[in-house]
Amino acid sequence: MRVTLQAPGRAALLSIVRYPASPWGWRCARIDGSAWHHRGAMNAPTKPSRTAPADTASGPPLGENLHSPVIDWFDENARDLPWRRPEAGAWGVMVSEFMLQQTPVNRVLPVYEQWLARWPRPADLAKEAPGEAVRAWGRLGYPRRALRLHGAAVAITERHGGDVPADHAQLLALPGIGEYTAAAVASFAYGQRHPVLDTNVRRVFARAVTGVQYPPNATTAAERKLARALLPEDEPTAARWAAASMELGALVCTAKSESCHRCPIAAQCAWRLAGKPEHDGPPRRGQTYAGTDRQVRGRLLAVLREAHGPVPQAALDRVWHEPVQRARALDGLVADGLVEPLAGGLYRLPLT
């Protein structure tokens, strides 16, 4: 079975072919099209004006029929989030990217505001003990992110004079910074051209272009290649596209209840045109919390965050009834550098 996407008066933009034996189910077979209109960078104070279409002598880029609708939709529907405002700066963008990993916006907002009020620059955080970053992290979950953000702040202060670097390679060299975070900061803070692949973007691309309901459990080389192919050539437009496609996945093309009637590219979506075939790839990983070591770790850390000094073992023993799991969780916190053991059976958040 073949589904072809075609704009009026143009050659076929995208051809999707059904391969029953493929774990993807649908694959892009042929790409044609024409150029897109340019837009301004993400943090531009005014709505950018369009420029003339790019030269199409060598053929149009993949995704040209997606860029303008998605960016226009973003211009009208983007949430007013503090890290998207110009005053947030690169440090504000970086803090948000650490906090938003596997954590919803509504939980991040109050912690983000408190964090930036206390540590408005990387050097302010770098002066503090790492345990203070863990304490301020509160109940956001995955507290190792707090240690990594503290380590990045120290490195930024020591290597870059306290300013978050704009160079992608320098961002990637910071401790605790992976490919996604480096690309996100370079794109959202500095308006550069990088593929920014979070869960929301991957889902939009899987449906709109590849024609499957969900992306693989882990990011693949094929997804990275597709994301690069979908990037507009113009840097400000590419940065705007990265933010817009992410917001589309967060608000419209959601995991469980997609709102195709509100989607600006529903008419071009390969998955929708194919009749929304059910996911036939590997089982999707579910996230559980109750009764897991993560829950125990969270309870142990809560005691240490609320304490003004070292905490005795007995106080930690009271938070979980099962001694073997409790000991395993505490050992894991120590191994991760989130808890520092002291003589006499005492524990505290790390000072170094």
Cα separation of 197 and 194, whole Å? 9
Residue 238: closest CA among 33, 76, 14, 71: 71
Q: Is 235 a catalytic residue?
A: no
Please compute the mean of the pLDDT values over residues 266-284 and round it to a whole number.
90
Of 64, 76, 87, 97, the active-site residue reads: 97
CB 130 within 8 A of CB 150: yes
Residues whose CB is less than 8 angstroms from the CB of residue 329 and which lie 6 or more positions away in sequence, other chains included = 293, 296, 297, 300, 320
Region class of 343: left (phi > 0), else alpha (psi between -120 and 50), else beta? beta
Indicate whether 266 pLDDT > 80.
Answer: yes
Region class of 344: left (phi > 0), else alpha (psi between -120 and 50), else beta? left
- What tokens does 58 get? 């060598």
Q: According to the model, what pLDDT value does residue 82 have?
A: 97
Q: According to the model, what pLDDT value does residue 288 have?
A: 76
pLDDT range class, residue 216, cuts 50, 70, 90:
very high
Lowest mean pLDDT among 49-58, 146-155, 278-287: 49-58
Q: Angle at Cα 236 formed by Cα 235 and Cα 241, nearest 5°?
A: 95
Average pLDDT over all residues of the chain = 85
Tens-digit pLDDT profile for residues 313-343: 999 999 999 999 999 999 999 999 999 999 9
From residue 260, alpha-carbon distances to 208, 247, 251, 294 in Å are 11, 14, 11, 35
Which single residue is written with the structure tokens 């589309």? 248
Residue 184: closest CA among 143, 99, 243, 224: 243
Tens-digit pLDDT profile for residues 71-111: 999 999 999 999 999 999 999 999 999 999 989 999 999 99
pTM, whole model, 2 decimals? 0.77
Indicate whether 22 pLDDT > 70.
Answer: no
For the chain, the straight-line distance linking the first and the last C-alpha, in angstroms and rounded, comes to 60
Please compute the mean of the pLDDT values over residues 181-186 and round it to a whole number.
98
Provide φ and ψ at 302, rounded to 5°. Answer: -60, -40
Cα torsion through 305, 307, 312, 315, rounded to 10: -80
For the chain, how are helix, strand and coil distributed in percent, rounded to 5?
Answer: 50, 5, 45
Cα separation of 252 and 70, whole Å? 11
- What tokens does 288 get? 């559980």
